[in-house]
Amino acid sequence: MASLSGVLKVILILLLIYYGLKILTRLFGPLLLRYVTKKAGEKFQQQFQQYQQPQSSTEEEVTIDKKSKQSSGNKDVGEYIDYEEID
């Protein structure tokens, strides 16, 4: 059987670890969050620059071909079938 002093030591150690992590998280949490957001911002900026470089270095002419408008009555949508309801 476990002794009472052993159980109390385990509970005390667990409480110290819990509160120690809680204090460390409050101290270093904002610093860690700032570091992570800074790194993510740098990564996004780098990806954006990689996307922009090929487009700015090779300027090509863009043409848009428009289709002529057709009247909506000329569309072949199918055959209309008249029906009657049977009681």
**Count of domains observed in the chain:** 1
> What is the model's pTM?
0.41
8-46 residue pLDDT tens: 999 999 999 999 999 999 999 999 999 999 999 999 999
User: Domain for residue 41, yes or no?
Assistant: yes
Is residue 24 packed enough to be buried (19+ CB in 10 Å), middle (13-18) or exposed (0-12)?
A: exposed
Residue 46 sits in which domain range? 29-57
User: Domain for residue 36, yes or no?
Assistant: yes
User: Domain for residue 65, yes or no?
Assistant: no
46-83 residue pLDDT tens: 988 887 765 544 567 888 888 766 555 556 677 878 88
Residue type, 66: K
User: Domain for residue 3, yes or no?
Assistant: no
User: Domain for residue 49, yes or no?
Assistant: yes
> How many whole angstroms separate alpha carbon 47 and alpha carbon 55?
13
User: What integer pLDDT is reported at residue 20 of this predicted model?
Assistant: 97
